[in-house]
Amino acid sequence: MRDDDGTAEMFGGFWLLIRKFLMLFFPFWVFLILYSANVHMVISAIVAGFSTSLVVIFEKLKIKQANDMANKPQ
Amino acid sequence: MSLSTIYRGNVSDMGFFDTIGDALGIAAPSVIEIVFICCALFGSIFFFTMMALMLVGDIFGGFIDTAFDTDMSMDSTLAFELFSIQGIAAAIMMFGLTGLFVVSATDIEVLAVFAGGIAAGSSLYMVKYMMQGISNLQADGTMKHSSALGAKGQVYSRIQPGQEGEVQVAVDGSLRTLPARAKDDEELISTGDMIEVVEVIGSILIVEKIGKQTKKED
């Protein structure tokens, strides 16, 4: 059984794909930014790893926003 | 000492990325430049291969349909997935190309990575808009009877007292012939009379003769 938490409807159904893309390339992008800014490689890697959580946080915020809008009294 | 400097003497011994870097006018590419080159190269190969396969697939599919009398089709889900993968390939390609352009123009690698990321995001966003545009092209042919409320038209098949007839009215921009009854149960509305829809019950329109309404108002 799949939980329907509303993620499938985000961004016109395009979010599922965007999330996969972001999960893969966002940390890579953050790492490259820090690396090119001459930050130590280990620190760059740690920050890049943490940046993945930003995608999840963004997703949760969007779901909360959508739920609040849906439950708003008329 | 970089790889390019070591192998500078013998062109045939040059590394893969040095060769590509030299072709792009970048001597001794740095790590970031190699990343950009990889993204631009593999993203482009993937993107154009997918484009070619989609085009050739259509022609090839058409040929097979004709030759073997089969029915091959790509359903919307598969097309969506392919299109989405193409979007990702385009984003990777744009990341590489924009990054290479910015790094060669400004020599600031951080700026190049930023610009590349923004270009990748923008190209994905463009794909999203294209997808929305395509889905907007699909027309919903479902007719809503409630849209007929207030519409004026003509009686197609006379409406006898207490019985059903047919009227022609424009609903959602198209002329439809729909079952109708007179509002006044004892009234006869002849073929060709002008009517107005005053109520909708299920799929039956309740109509009133236009001349009668005018008389009432007077």
- Higher pLDDT, residue B159 or B15: B159
Q: Find, in chain B, the residue whose alpha carbon is nearest to that of A24.
A: B88
pLDDT mean over A35-49: 91
pTM, to two decimals: 0.56
- pLDDT value at position B7? 44
Q: Is the pLDDT of residue B8 over 60?
A: no
| C-beta of residue B154 within 8 angstroms of C-beta of residue B193 | yes
User: What 3-state DSSP class applies to B179?
Assistant: strand
pLDDT digit string, tens, across residues B122-145: 887 787 677 667 667 766 667 778
- Chain B residues lying within 8 Å of A29, measured CB to CB: 113, 116-117, 120
| C-beta of residue A22 within 8 angstroms of C-beta of residue A48 | no
Task: Report helix angle A41-71 to A15-36, nearest 10.
Answer: 150
Q: Is the pLDDT of residue B218 over 70?
A: no
Q: Is the pLDDT of residue A1 over 60?
A: no
Among the partner-chain residues A21, A32, A33, the one whose CB lies closest to the CB of B124 is A21
Identify the residue among A9, A25, A35, A55 best suited for mutation to test binding to B, counting B beta carbons within 10 A and taking the highest: A25
Residue-wise burial string across B68-90, b where 16 or more C-beta atoms lie within 10 A, e elsewhere: eeeeeeeeeeeebeebbebbbbb
Q: Is the pLDDT of residue B90 over 90?
A: no
| C-beta of residue B172 within 8 angstroms of C-beta of residue B142 | no
Q: What is the helix (H) or strand (E) element at residue B152, kind and residue range?
A: strand B152-157
Q: Which residues of A touch B (CB under 8 A)?
A: 11-12, 14, 17-18, 21, 25, 29, 32-33, 35-37
Q: What is the mean pLDDT of chain B?
A: 77
Alpha carbon of B123: minimum distance to chain A alpha carbons (Å) = 12
Q: Find, in chain B, the residue whose alpha carbon is nearest to that of A32.
A: B113
User: What 3-state DSSP class applies to B139?
Assistant: coil
* Partner-chain contact A36 B128, CB within 8 Å: no
Interface of B with A in 39-98 (CB under 8 A): 84, 87-88, 91-92
- pLDDT value at position B88? 82
Cα A61–chain centre separation: 10
Q: What is the DSSP string of chain A?
A: -----SGGGGGGGTHHHHHHHHHHHHHHHHHHHHHHTT--HHHHHHHHHHHHHHHHHHHHHHHHHHHHHHHS--
- Give the pair of three-digit tokens for residue A18: 């965007």
- pLDDT value at position B62? 61
Question: From residue B206, how far is each of B105, B145, B176 by CA, in Å?
Answer: 72, 11, 15
- pLDDT value at position A10? 72
- pLDDT value at position B173? 79
pLDDT digit string, tens, across residues B33-65: 888 888 988 888 988 887 777 667 666 556 656
Nearest to B143 by CA among B181, B192, B177: B177
CA dihedral (B204, B210, B212, B215) in degrees, to 10, reads: 150
